[in-house]
A and B are shown apart, each in its own frame.
Chain A
Amino acid sequence: MARTPKTMVRTLDVRGEICPYPMMRTVSALKKLSTDERALEVVTDHAPALETIPTQAARLGFQTDIEETGASEWRIMLTRTEAVEGS
């Protein structure tokens, strides 16, 4: 296949959302990713999501990297792990 891999990563902005929608909308977005999309970037200002999103993402086969980008704002990068590729 000569298709170039996607370099663009989809971003989901859940700032302002109330509990537990940052986590729920992340899970929905992860489930909707097509198989050639490797990652999803989530922008949130909801601190409790920093504990729930990694767990739920791991259950779906994604690993989590969290970066604090500002006052109570985080960029969460969720990347597909190889183990569940093609599932």
Chain B
Amino acid sequence: MRTAADRNPALGLTVWATAAVVYVAAHAVDTEFSMFWVFGLAFGFVLQRARFCFASAFRDIFLLGHSRNMKGLLLGLAVASVGFGLVMSRQVPMTSLGVYPPSANVLPLGIHTGLGGLLFGVGMVLAGGCVSGSIYRMGEGYIASWVAFAGVMGGLLLSAYTWNWWWEAHIAAAPRLWLPHWIGHPSALLVTLLALACVYLWVLSVEHRAGMVVPRSSRDQPQPESVSDDLRSVARILFVQGWPVLPAGAVLGGLNVLLFTAQEPWGFTGEVSRWSIGMASLVNAAPGPLAGVEELPGCVLVPSDGLFFNHMFFLVCGMCFGSFAAAVGAGEFKLRVPKRPVRYAQSLGGGVLMGYGSGIAMGCTIGALFSAIPSLAVNGWVFGAFLALGAWIGTHMIQRLE
């Protein structure tokens, strides 16, 4: 049983106070900065509290016949689809005109989508976490996740060097398929929800074939006897105990709708590419101009602009810091240093595969999946299918590296 021994509320409050100071400072410079900082904190907090991991959502189906995280992911996608659907039906009331919602992740669909998903799927299983998973585990103190993140930056840079080839050969002429163009808003949403329900039925059947074992039920809570007792128990549920996955999925889906309503869907590999391209330009190794990137939505590569801060910088750093704050508050922060050298190679290699895959697919499990399926875009489903295939291959690989 968990004890309060190593939990330090004062330390937790200090970390949150630091987050508040950053908020105030960012707000003074640009209100967009502070808004994205808060979104980042919220995403990181929820990911850490629920240990919400997209890599394990796919991997555990193949490895364990277990679908805890996949169920959370599916619920999050359903919630976000309804929200995105409503927002997009206001943005583009007349679907017959052929225009696209301005910031939804309706991306060019082609070989790059499938190959990107495949590479990403292998990479996230090898590295033990996707990009968002690595960012929240960086905040929890996993050294291997910092290595994986460095790999992601390297992979994104490699994809930038080859971007113009992909653009010429595949992306420029690739179609952007948006379901509402064919069947209108209500049917597009209905089809998406039905497809999510089909995936749900499939994972249930996999789970039952594997022989479902009900994990230990959570410990009994004593009945709270006063308002302060009740508040304490709510605070424990929110900040100390791990969250169940379904509320976390719903909250992440809801946060994504809010972010989309405020500006653009959740995603960050474009921003991370800006960092690595920026670093490469410091040593005069930047890739040349990237064709077509200005006209694409989603997490497409971002050329270095010579600036240090932008709003997405605060989103990515906010995710890492939100997870750090959540971990400290729950007494779960700890530096975890892998003892086996192969784990560093796996994390770095997996990171490079994820970086390259998300570079050509214009998004990771967030931008190309968690924000793309709710955009009612076909590319989200194709990316997801190849992600699953990649995760299946990766699952075989990690079993040989035990």
- Convert B334-351 into 0s and 1s, putting 1 for each residue whose CB lies closer than 8 angstroms to a CB of A: 101111100100110000
| Docked complex Cα distance between A12 and B338 (Å) | 15
Specify the chain A residue showing the minimal Cβ separation from B327.
A72
Q: Which of A34-82 contact B (CB under 8 A)?
A: 45-48, 51-52, 54-56, 58-59, 64, 66-68, 70-73
In angstroms, Cα B332 to Cα A87, docked, is 38
Complex Cα distance A54/B66, Å? 12
B319 to chain A, nearest CB (A): 18
In the complex, number of A-B residue pairs with CB atoms less than 8 Å apart? 88
Interface positions of B from 324 to 368, Cβ below 8 Å from A: 327, 331-334, 336-340, 343, 346-347
Tell me, in angstroms, the Cα distance from A55 to B212 when the chains sit together. 8
CB within 8 Å for A55 and B331 given contacts A19-B128, A20-B59, A48-B53: no
What residues of A have a CB within 8 angstroms of the CB of B59 in the complex? Answer: 20
Binds A, one of B1-9, B14-22, B98-106, B109-117: B1-9
State the majority secondary structure of interface residues on A: mixed
Which of A17, A59, A71 sits near B6, CB closer than 8 Å? A71
Confirm or deny: A15 has a beta carbon within 8 angstroms of a beta carbon on chain B: yes
Residue contact A18 to B332, C-beta cutoff 8 Å: no
A residues in contact with B51, CB < 8 Å: 47-48, 51
Among residues of B, the one whose C-beta sits closest to the C-beta of A59 is: B213
Question: What is the CB-to-nearest-CB distance from A75 to chain B, in angstroms, rounded to a whole number?
Answer: 11
Residues from chain A with Cβ under 8 Å of B142 in the complex: 18
* Residue interface bits A1-21, CB-to-B below 8 A is 1, else 0: 000000000000001111111
A19 touching B216 by the CB < 8 A rule? no
**Quick check: A19 and B336 within 8 Å, CB to CB?**
no
Q: Judge whether B213 and A25 touch: CB under 8 Å.
A: no
A47 touches B215 (CB 8 A): no
- Report the separation of the CA atoms of residues A55 and B65 in the bound assembly, to the nearest whole angstrom: 11
Contact of A55 with B66 at beta-carbon distance under 8 Å, contacts A17-B343, A18-B142, A67-B1 already known: yes
In the assembly, what is the distance between CA of A67 and CA of B1, in Å? 5
**Distance A17 CA – B337 CA, assembled complex (angstroms):** 7
Q: How far is the CB of A32 from chain B (nearest CB, A)?
A: 12
Q: Is A33 engaged at the interface, CB distance under 8 Å to the other chain?
A: no
Any A CB within 8 A of the CB of B204:
no
Which of A21, A48, A71 interacts with B402 by CB under 8 Å?
A21
Contacting residue for B56 out of A25, A48, A58, CB 8 A: A48
What's the Cα separation between A63 and B332 when bound, in Å? 25
Does B213 lie within 8 Å of A18, measured CB to CB?
no
Query: Which positions 118-149 of chain B face chain A at CB distance < 8 Å?
Result: 127-129, 142, 144-145
**Closest 4 interchain pairs by CB?**
A71-B6, A18-B128, A19-B128, A72-B334
